[in-house]
Amino acid sequence: MSVLRDADLATAFDHAARSYDTLTAANPGYHAHLRRSVRRLGLPDGGTGLRVLDLGCGTGASTAALAAVLPGAHLTAVDASSGMLRRAAQRPWHRPVRFVHAPVEELAEAGIDGPFDAVFAAYLLRNTADPDTVLARAHALLAPGGRLAVHEYALSGHRAHRAVWNAVCGGLVLPVATLLGDGALYRHLRHSVVTFDTAGRLARRVGEAGFEQVRVVPLPGWQTGITHTVVAARPRRTGEAGR
C-alpha cells in the first residue's frame, strides 16, 4: 500500500477529524494511557510554571492529558492538520492553551521557540517522513535537563503482539473507518505501526538524537507490547549524552 506523508497525510487527518475522537474512544485505556505517559515525564509540582510543548496534538487528547496531570504548566500544542487542530481548540479548556498550526519541520517559522521544560509527542514519530529530524528539533527546543516523552505504537518485536495489532485493526478499526470514509488514513496508520521501529529501536533512535537517561516503559492492557512510552532527557551540559 502507499504510505501517506506530509501534505497528503495532513489532508487525510483533516477529513478524519470529525470522527477521530469517536474511534479513539472505542480504544480501552486510550486516555488513561496518555495520562500515564505524561506522569512518566516526572515533572514536579503539577508542572507549575513550566513550559510544555505538545508535538502532534491531533484533536487535543494528548493536550488534555497534559492539562490533567500538569495543571500548572503553560501548554503549547502544535499540529500540521488544521482540521484536527480546530477540533482541539474547540474542547472546553479551563485555562489558556496556545494552539499553533504548523508542521514540525516549520516550528521556528510558526513562532515556536524554546526553551521548553518538556516535550510530549504522542503518535507522531511514525507519521513523519524524517523522525530523526523531529527528535533533533525537540532536542533543540528543550532546556538543558528538559524531559521528553514519546508515546507511540512501537511493537515489542514479538509476533504475538503484531498479530494482536493486525487483528484489532482488521476486525474492528478498518471496517468502521471505511464506513466513515476514512479507510485510506486508517490503512496507513495500520501499516505505519508494523513498518515502524520496534520499541527497542525507537529507544536507540532517541539516544542517537543526543538524549540521555533513555527508558522504554510498556503500557498495560491489550496494548501491552504494542504501545510504549520512551522517556529521556536533554543533557544538562554538551557532550553528556550516553554517559
CATH number of the CATH domain containing 212: 3.40.50.150
Residue 165 lies in a domain: no
Residue 175 lies in a domain: no
Range of the domain at 42: 28-156+197-233
Give residue 14's pLDDT band: very low, low, confident or very high (50, 70, 90): confident
Give residue 12's pLDDT band: very low, low, confident or very high (50, 70, 90): confident
Give residue 8's pLDDT band: very low, low, confident or very high (50, 70, 90): confident
C-alpha cell at 39: 506522569
Burial of 143 per CB tally in 10 Å (0-12, 13-18, 19+): middle
Average pLDDT in the chain: 91
Counting the structural domains of the chain, the total is 1
Residue 127 lies in a domain: yes
Cβ atoms of residues 87 and 59 within 8 Å:
yes
Burial of 150 per CB tally in 10 Å (0-12, 13-18, 19+): buried
Residue 14 lies in a domain: no
Cβ atoms of residues 233 and 146 within 8 Å:
yes
Give residue 242's pLDDT band: very low, low, confident or very high (50, 70, 90): very low
Residue 146 lies in a domain: yes
Residue 34 lies in a domain: yes
DSSP-derived letter for residue 150 is E
Distance CA 189, CA 123 (A): 10
The pTM is what? 0.91
Dihedral of the alpha carbons of 151, 170, 195, 7, in degrees to the nearest 10: -80
Residue 191 lies in a domain: no
Residue 108 lies in a domain: yes
